Amino acid sequence: MAQSVWGTCSLFFLIQSVLGTSLYLAKRDEILTQEASHYSGIDVPLKGKEWAVNDVIMTLKNSEISEGRRTSDFPPAVHFFHALPYIDKSKVFEIIKLMPKGAALHIHDNAITDINWLIKNATYRPHCYVCFTHARGNILFHYYDNQPTDNNTCEWKLVETERANSGDAEAYDQMLYDKISMITDDPHTAYPNQQIVWDYFNAYFAAVDGLVFYADVFKDYFRQGLQQFYDDGIQFMEVRALLQPTYELDGTTYNSEHTLLEYEAVNTEWLNDHQHDSMGSRIIFTSIRSSTNEVINNVINLAMELHSKYPNFMKGFDLVSQEDDGHPLIYFLEELLIPTQAGKDLPYYFHAGETNWQGTETDENLIDALMLNSSRIGHGYAATKHPEVLLELKQRDIPLEVNPISNQVLKLVDDLRNHPASTLLADGYPIVVSSDDPATWGSTPLSHDFYEMFMGIASAKADLRLLKQLTTDSIKYSTLLEEEKASCMDMWSTEWDIFLDKVLEMYNITDWENYVPAPTETTITDGAAKLLCLNITPIILAIIMVNT
């Protein structure tokens, strides 16, 4: 008898506790499903081949993440200069390189083409002079007709002679590369803080300016940039350009409009050669944010003029250079309101919130960028610290241009798993991936940044749907006209199909037509399966007990 009461009691207790656990798991599952429903790309439909390719990518992604957790050496968690050789060996990276990436919307004029091209092509042209200064970065170039006689600022030496005298052209060229590039074996020692890293970053631009803006080099440099981006799977690029004067050997210089027209000439020629697979480029005119009000007043007027003259090539305006160091947007309020007050159109694409300092003027640039109707926000690194900004970004559908490697090299964040865009992806904010200044730190035009985004910033669960969302959003948020966006989407779509086939081929998958998608967070989850099981178990148990 006692035995039987005890049996009934323990059965009751068992049922109670199992039901309690199952309720817990049901609730947990509901939260996870709810959370997953916010994630960027979660609603992107996949079909046929895409599920098979997704399975390949996710198997590789999970294995690379497991390896990273096992060894504590996860590429996105370490400095790009150390991560680079590991990323280049990654199978996920191999696939990302093949993927068509849509548009690169945040890149700067003289940091788009690989430094090697400048060295192997530009510095091999006649009349190229070099000088080693005592400033950071330590190298400048200029083309002169004859040996400059004024050595006050620099002792100019003819590259051709120096290279010949060195006796080892390869070693000489490597020395030039090392001096121009920011790449170093020990970035933490070489760049101990943001100020010093920006000094070197600025030195890169000083070094290449004399090469890039030589009239004879300028168009080839840009054409080479278009080619390299195209080769990296990019259908369209928007270049932020200072429109600096180009110069001739005899010292003649040209104006900003001339530089713009040179870009346009290259673009037109490029489009003729790529009618079916590239939308070429457009320009966003930029100025330096440490300028005076007077300079910005002139520049804004020039920008309005150039935009009205070339509305489908010169697409808008932005202020660049170190945000923490220059003037905030509010400093130029009067100038930046000129177009609105004049009833003229000048779309803005402001860099804003590229800072770690909360509550400073730089941080508040985010507010001004929104008030000035910026069409997109460059970086917006500080956005997660501003609830009102976040609200506006979503309501007005304004994307942030996220540049993972730039943010790491320029020391906003060490470990890319801590990048604020993680939070933004988790809650479906509009985002595009870009590369800012890939030549400066030796990354590919966009592939490395996509890898860091997909592996380090995004969730371990984020899959091909996120990649599809990010690549198509880059076209959606571009400055292209509606009908051009449609053409660009067609080009992307054609390349996407080729990409899917390549991945299937690489992994010998032929039966994709019978492919059943793996269960995902929004269909059926582990939790739901467990729940089902646990709900039935006590009933079965009860039946067994009663019958014995």
Ligand X SMILES: *[C@@H]1O[C@H](CO)[C@@H](O)[C@H](O)[C@H]1NC(C)=O
Find the binding residues for ligand X in span 342-401 (CB under 6 A). Answer: 372-373
Residue closer to ligand X by CB (options 308, 418) is 308
Question: Does residue 157 touch ligand X according to CB under 6 A?
Answer: yes
Residue closer to ligand X by CB (options 271, 338) is 338
Residue 161 contact among ligand X, Zn ion, none, beta carbon within 5 to 8 Å by kind:
none
Residue 265 contact among Zn ion, ligand X, none, beta carbon within 5 to 8 Å by kind:
none
Q: Quick one: how far is CA 148 from the chain centroid?
A: 41
Residue closer to ligand X by CB (options 372, 410) is 372
Cβ at position 24, least distance to ligand X in Å: 41
| Token digits of residue 373 | 């109707």
Residue closer to ligand X by CB (options 219, 385) is 219
Question: Does residue 121 touch ligand X according to CB under 6 A?
Answer: yes
The residue within the footprint of ligand X, chosen from 66, 147, 253, 418 (CB under 6 A), is: 147
Instruction: Reduce the secondary structure of 426-450 to three states and give it as a string.
Output: HCCCCEEECCECCCCCCCCCCHHHH
Alpha carbon distance 210, 249 (integer Å): 11
Residue closer to Zn ion by CB (options 112, 462) is 112
Spatial CA neighbour of 526 closest among 469, 461, 464, 463? 461
Question: Between vectors from CA 107 to CA 211 and to CA 414, what angle results, nearest 5°?
Answer: 105
Question: Does residue 10 touch ligand X according to CB under 6 A?
Answer: no
Please state, in angstroms and as integers, the Cα–Cα distance from residue 435 to each residue in 87, 438, 453, following that order.
16, 6, 11
Find the binding residues for ligand X in span 472-501 (CB under 6 A). Answer: none
Q: Which amino acid is at 378?
A: G
Residue closer to Zn ion by CB (options 437, 463) is 437
Residue 515 contact among ligand X, Zn ion, none, beta carbon within 5 to 8 Å by kind:
none
Q: Quick one: how far is CA 127 from the chain centroid?
A: 36
Question: Does residue 436 touch Zn ion according to CB under 5 A?
Answer: yes
Cβ at position 417, least distance to ligand X in Å: 28
Alpha carbon distance 64, 70 (integer Å): 10
Q: Which residues contact 418 (CB under 8 A, 6 or more apart)?
A: none
Judged by CB under 5 A, the stretch of 45-53, 433-441, 527-535, 536-544 that binds Zn ion is 433-441
Residue closer to Zn ion by CB (options 55, 318) is 318
Question: Does residue 392 touch Zn ion according to CB under 5 A?
Answer: no
Instruction: Please provide residue 373's backbone torsions phi and psi, each rounded to the nearest 5 degrees.
Output: 60, 40
Strands 236-241 and 281-288: parallel
The label of the residue with tokens 């900004």 reads 389
Cβ at position 57, least distance to ligand X in Å: 13
The answer to whether 449 touches 443, Cβ cutoff 8 Å, is yes
The residue within the footprint of ligand X, chosen from 3, 275, 508, 514 (CB under 6 A), is: 508
Spatial CA neighbour of 159 closest among 138, 176, 171? 176
Other C-beta atoms closer than 10 Å to the C-beta of 268 total 11
Structural element, H or E, at residue 342: helix 338-342
Let me know if 379 is a catalytic residue. Answer: yes
Spatial CA neighbour of 125 closest among 159, 80, 100? 159
The answer to whether 488 touches 478, Cβ cutoff 8 Å, is yes
Residue closer to Zn ion by CB (options 109, 436) is 436
Residue 436 contact among ligand X, Zn ion, none, beta carbon within 5 to 8 Å by kind:
Zn ion
Residue 151 contact among ligand X, Zn ion, none, beta carbon within 5 to 8 Å by kind:
ligand X
Tell me which of 79, 142, 379, 419 is the catalytic residue: 379
Question: Does residue 161 touch ligand X according to CB under 6 A?
Answer: no
Judged by CB under 5 A, the stretch of 302-310, 428-436, 464-472, 484-492 that binds Zn ion is 428-436
Q: Which amino acid is at 493?
A: S
Let me know if 35 is a catalytic residue. Answer: no
Find the binding residues for ligand X in span 317-346 (CB under 6 A). Answer: 337, 340
The residue within the footprint of ligand X, chosen from 16, 34, 151, 358 (CB under 6 A), is: 151
The answer to whether 46 touches 517, Cβ cutoff 8 Å, is yes
Question: Between vectors from CA 425 to CA 420 and to CA 429, what angle results, nearest 5°?
Answer: 100
The residue within the footprint of ligand X, chosen from 51, 86, 124, 310 (CB under 6 A), is: 124
The residue within the footprint of ligand X, chosen from 144, 177, 507, 512 (CB under 6 A), is: 507
Alpha carbon distance 17, 529 (integer Å): 18
Please state, in angstroms and as integers, the Cα–Cα distance from residue 465 to each residue in 39, 100, 201, 458, following that order.
10, 14, 35, 12
Residue 157 contact among Zn ion, ligand X, none, beta carbon within 5 to 8 Å by kind:
ligand X
Tell me which of 354, 364, 392, 452 is the catalytic residue: 354
Cβ at position 439, least distance to ligand X in Å: 16
Find the binding residues for ligand X in span 249-278 (CB under 6 A). Answer: none
Residue 149 contact among Zn ion, ligand X, none, beta carbon within 5 to 8 Å by kind:
ligand X
Q: List, as one string, the DSSP characters of 123-144.
A: GGSTTEEEE--SSTT--EEEE-
Please state, in angstroms and as integers, the Cα–Cα distance from residue 174 to each residue in 139, 169, 197, 222, following that order.
13, 9, 22, 23
Residue 364 contact among ligand X, Zn ion, none, beta carbon within 5 to 8 Å by kind:
none
The answer to whether 350 touches 318, Cβ cutoff 8 Å, is yes
Question: Does residue 220 touch ligand X according to CB under 6 A?
Answer: yes
Judged by CB under 6 A, the stretch of 147-155, 196-204, 234-242, 411-419 that binds ligand X is 147-155
Question: Between vectors from CA 89 to CA 71 and to CA 422, what angle results, nearest 5°?
Answer: 65
Cβ at position 372, least distance to ligand X in Å: 5
Cβ at position 474, least distance to ligand X in Å: 24
Question: Does residue 323 touch Zn ion according to CB under 5 A?
Answer: no
Residue closer to Zn ion by CB (options 90, 113) is 113
Residue closer to Zn ion by CB (options 50, 436) is 436
Spatial CA neighbour of 210 closest among 249, 257, 265? 249
Instruction: Please provide residue 130's backbone torsions phi and psi, each rounded to the nearest 5 degrees.
Output: -125, 150
| Token digits of residue 381 | 């690194």
| Token digits of residue 319 | 């202020």
| Catalytic residue ranges | 354, 379
Q: What are the residues binding Zn ion (CB under 5 A)?
A: 436
Q: What are the residues binding ligand X (CB under 6 A)?
A: 121, 124-125, 147, 149, 151, 155, 157, 220, 337, 340, 372-373, 507-508
